[in-house]
Every structure is written in C-alpha cells, then in structure tokens.
Amino acid sequence: MWAKKETPAASTTASDPIQSNLPVLDNAEKNTVVTKTLLMPKSENGTQQIQTITYKGNQFLTLTIQQKRPVGDELKNFISENGLEETQKALQEAEEKDETIQEARKLAGFTLETKLLSETEIQTTTTYDFQVLDVKKASQIEYLKNIGLENLLKNEPSQYIADRVANGATEQ
C-alpha cells in the first residue's frame, strides 16, 4: 500500500565519467616524473649542447647539461705529443688543482665531468640535482655564480622547455 516512490535515476551522460576523471588525471600529471631531452642548435664554433630536464609538476628535479665541443689547438698539440689517455689524466689533474672547480664539486647535488671523446672532441657533463643542491649556496660559489640557477628555478619546467624549443632546440 505504501508503494515505494521510485526516484528517477540520476541522469548521466557520456561526459560525466570523463568529468569525474579530470581531477584524477590532473593530479596524476602533477605527480608524474617527466624527463625531457633537448638538443640545442650547434654553435658557430661547433659546440653542441644536450640538456636533460627531469621534473615533477612545477618542480625541477635534475638538470644535466652535456656539452661537446671541438678541442682547442693547445690541447690538440698536447694530445699529439702525449696521447689521449695521458691528456685525459692531465685534464683531471688540472681540474683537481682548480680551486673554483673543487669548491663547486664539494656541493651535494652538483657533479662535473670532463672527458676527451677523441683527438678532436671534448665533453663536459654538468648535473644539478635540485632535490639536494643548496641553490642559494651554489649561486655564491665562483664556478657557478654566473649560471643563473635561481632564475632557472623561477620558471616552470614546461615553460623552460618551451622557451628552449622556441629558440631552436629539438626534443629528443
């Protein structure tokens, strides 16, 4: 007798499930670690730079800059007289004696490696791990003070990448 009043089913449309998933997708995007590799245009002197940017949401995690460049005449002469292996050792010794490089290398979250690739090409790889690097301190160290780390971190990673692409970099 007291018939249950039927409540009309909530109207659903095909877009409702999509709408309800948007916050989940948006949140997933913010929590996903993304790595992008950018190949910069080669400079007039033959220097080629590759930047690998790892980030999560709007936060930079790491930046690795790999720079390949032609060997200078002085180094070419040293290589021809001493060979690649001895030249590599001499480069490492010179870096070990360079106080500005040593001061920078003491920073947690910063690495620098110089490697002779051939008799004509040298590569420097610099890595900034922003999860442990004290950027304020790094910005005061002689070797790093002109890099502009604080300005870099003012950008969102996606904007930093977009700016590099707009200036001729290609995403790998």
Structure confidence by residue, pLDDT tens digits, 10-30: 444 454 555 555 666 566 667
Q: For residue 141, what are the CA distances in angstroms to 10, 14, 91, 92, 120? A: 63, 58, 22, 20, 31
pTM: 0.80
Tell me how far apart the alpha carbons of residues 66 and 70 are, in angstroms, rounded to a whole number.
14
Confidence (pLDDT) at 114: 95
Share of the chain above pLDDT 90, in %: 77
Confidence (pLDDT) at 26: 61
| Whole-number average pLDDT of the chain | 88
Structure confidence by residue, pLDDT tens digits, 65-75: 999 999 999 99
Q: Does the pLDDT value for residue 4 go beyond 90?
A: no
Structure confidence by residue, pLDDT tens digits, 76-130: 999 999 999 999 999 999 999 999 999 999 999 999 999 999 999 999 999 999 9
Whether CATH 3.30.1330.20 fits 33-171: no
Confidence (pLDDT) at 63: 97
Q: Residue 109: left if φ>0, alpha if ψ -120 to 50, beta else—which one?
A: left
